[in-house]
Each structure stands twice: as structure tokens, then as C-alpha cells.
Amino acid sequence: MHAIQLESVLTCPACGHVETLTMPTDACQWFHECPACKTLLRPKPGDCCVFCSYGSVPCPPIQQARTAGESGCCGTRD
């Protein structure tokens, strides 16, 4: 069993700003404002949260689902 990663590197699609954030373990984060350009990030269609769309690591609920052999709420992601 793999340990759940709680930190993800979020990259703003508008300006490329990169920041390391701690992800919530009990919810999907729908919005995040880029501190550099103030763009409000939202999940891409089919993703449950901004971490699944723009992060280096999918959110903890998705990581847990994949560990259990399920796809989770975001479908498949390589």
C-alpha cells in the first residue's frame, strides 16, 4: 500500500506560477486563486478538484481510490 501524498505542486495555467500546497484530506478543492496573477483556478471537465487538474499529485481521495483499485471521481489519469 502506498502512502498518501499530501503535498502537490500546483501550476497556474495562466501565468505558470508554481507553488507547493498541502491538500485537504477530506474534501475536493474546487477553487484556488493564483497569488501571482489572481486567476481563479477551477477543475477541468471530468476532474474533481484543482489538484487533479493542475497539480503534480492527484488529491488524497483519488489517491485512496486508486490504491483500492477504483477510478475515483476523476476517472483515469496517468
User: Is residue 74 in a domain?
Assistant: no
Long-range own/partner contacts, residues 66-72 (CB < 8 A, 24 or more apart)? 67/1, 67/2, 67/4, 72/48
User: Is residue 30 in a domain?
Assistant: yes
DSSP state at residue 28: -
How many Cβ atoms sit within 10 Å of the Cβ of residue 8? 22
* Of residues 55, 43, 46, the one with CA closest to residue 9: 55
Helical (H) or strand (E) element with 63? helix 60-67
User: Is residue 56 in a domain?
Assistant: yes
pTM: 0.82
Residue-wise pLDDT for 20-77, tens only, equals 999 998 888 999 999 999 999 999 999 999 999 999 999 998 888 888 877 666 544 4
Domain hosting 61: range is 7-67
